[in-house]
Amino acid sequence: MTISALPEWSLTARVSNSVTVLDEVASTNTWAIEHQLEPYSVVLSWNQTHGRGRWNRSWISQPGEALALSVVFPPSLPDGQVSVSASWIPLLAGTSAVRSLAKLGIEGVAAKWPNDIVCEAGKLGGILTEVDGVGQPIIGLGLNVQFSKDRPVPQAVSLAELRELEPDTVDTFVAHFLEELKFARQLQAQERSRHVRETLLTVGRFVRVSPSNGESWNGFAEGLGEDGALLVRDDHGSLLPQRASEVEHLYQ
């Protein structure tokens, strides 16, 4: 069932022309991909049954406990604004999520390269960016909001553990998130990198890198490349750009 712009999402409806709320959906990302929506359309559900994560993993959530959100991110704009390469998009989404949480008074949350929203206690959310049939990036964000019993996975943390929830807390978050994405979208390359670095926990840390097809190794994350790759110095002094590896923070 599709209901557009329920009162519950009135703040979100002020910043997006298309808000689709699904009572139940396999994956909001898949739904957005299949429907080829206009830029900054929003698809939301409190009951996502087959949420997908990075590396073909599942994003697990119980009905009503996590927000599943997908936003269409314009790949290029008619007014000649800079185009954003695909590898920057999860990073822009991460920084937008962290800044939106900070606007709700939630401090101590940061982005972990490339797609996690974390705090000291664990993982609050995750991002999966995909592309729809007409080449529009779809930003998928899963945000743990409140657990009634057990955590879906041991490292999961919910918004309710960080802040008292009010009826409009999540709607306010989504509206901020949209505004932050629009702001991030128009940044030029240098500002974009600085913007992402401000909320990114990974740069300046020792990390363990696990490539999709190779052995894990440890190194020091020195910065971000022009395309958003994580630049990691290995033990031999080589600076190796990481684009699709899994990265773990060492020595918390």
Residue 133 neighbours by CB under 8 Å, 6+ apart? 33, 36
According to CB under 6 A, which residues from 39 to 58 bind ligand BTN? 48, 51-54, 57
According to CB under 6 A, which residues from 60 to 99 bind ligand BTN? 68-70
Phi, psi at 37, each rounded to 5° = -90, 170
Token pair for 169: 């807390």
Size of the site for ligand BTN (CB under 6 A): 20
Strand order in the sheet with 206-210: 239-242, 230-233, 217-224, 206-210, 246-249
Does residue number 152 form part of the binding site for ligand BTN (CB under 6 A)?
no
- In whole angstroms, what separates CA 37 from the centre of its chain? 19
Alpha-carbon distance of 77 to 67, in angstroms, equals: 28
According to CB under 6 A, which residues from 176 to 205 bind ligand BTN? none
Residues 16, 20, 29, 242: which binds ligand BTN (CB under 6 A)? 29
List strand residue ranges (DSSP E) for 79-157, in order. Answer: 109-112, 116-119, 122-131, 137-144
Alpha-carbon distance of 151 to 170, in angstroms, equals: 19
Residues 27, 41, 100, 136: which binds ligand BTN (CB under 6 A)? 27
Residue number, 75 or 125, with CB nearest to ligand BTN: 125
According to CB under 6 A, which residues from 118 to 147 bind ligand BTN? 126-128, 140-142
Q: In the bound complex, what is the minimum distance in angstroms from residue 79's beta carbon to ligand BTN?
A: 29
Q: In the bound complex, what is the minimum distance in angstroms from residue 43's beta carbon to ligand BTN?
A: 8
Q: Which residues bind ligand BTN (CB under 6 A)?
A: 27-29, 48, 51-54, 57, 59, 68-70, 115, 126-128, 140-142
